[in-house]
Amino acid sequence: MRKIVVLEHISLDGVIQAPGGPEEDTGGGFAHGGWISSYSDAVLGKALREQMNKSFDLLLGRKTFEIWEPYWPQHGDVWPNVNLATKYVASSTRTSSDWKSSVFLSGDVAGEVGKLKQQDGLDLHVWGSGNLLQTLIKHDLVDMFWLMIYPTTLGNGKRLFAEGTIPLKFKVTESMVGASGVIVVNYERSA
């Protein structure tokens, strides 16, 4: 059985929107894109490389997929496993892509993801994908949150835990603090 692992850059006030760059996601008038750039350090870099070097499949929302689709096939030297992974994409508008091993899910996405979890295979990593995350959380499909918590507040933007969050319990299985103050923590579901 597969696990769903959510990997997110998150601010102290829970924002996950556009951590990588100013044009990444300006939805809702978000003007703080690229907010993680000043926090890079060796501890965070090592932790990210360890995650990126694992074997996984991806579960992505359409918007995140469309940001990644033109970029990662051209930058496989940086993250080879992203191109090897099967990319499951939740979308009501897309049905195909030239990016190798892309599979589109539509309709009852929670039901489709539930079926994927029951299959043998690699864990499903979710990066970004704010709207999809809300569906996964609401339907109790997340097994693990691997979070990079940044010592900043943004005030507005898409949040990891938004509407529809249900009561769930987690335990910390790994944590570290980088020199820049970023806390990397892994939360796994507990009984």
Nearby residues of 165 by Cβ (< 8 Å), 6 or more positions away: 137, 138
Question: Which pLDDT does position 163 carry in this prediction?
Answer: 77
Least confident of 23-27, 54-58, 93-97: 23-27
> β-strand 124-127 against 4-11: which pairing, if any?
parallel
> β-strand 183-189 against 170-177: which pairing, if any?
antiparallel
31, pLDDT greater than 80: yes
Question: Which pLDDT does position 191 carry in this prediction?
Answer: 73
- DSSP for 127-173, please give it: ES-HHHHHHHHHTT---EEEEEEES---SSS-BSS-TT-----EEEE
Question: Which pLDDT does position 25 carry in this prediction?
Answer: 92
The one-character DSSP state at 109 is H
Q: pLDDT digit string (tens) for 73-126? A: 999 999 999 999 999 999 999 999 999 999 999 999 999 999 999 999 999 999
The third-level CATH classification (topology) of the domain covering 4-189 is: Dihydrofolate Reductase, subunit A (3.40.430)
- DSSP for 54-84, please give it: S--EEEEEHHHHHHHTTTGGG-TTT-HHHHH
Whether the model pTM is above 0.85? yes
Domain boundaries of the chain, sorted by first residue: 4-189
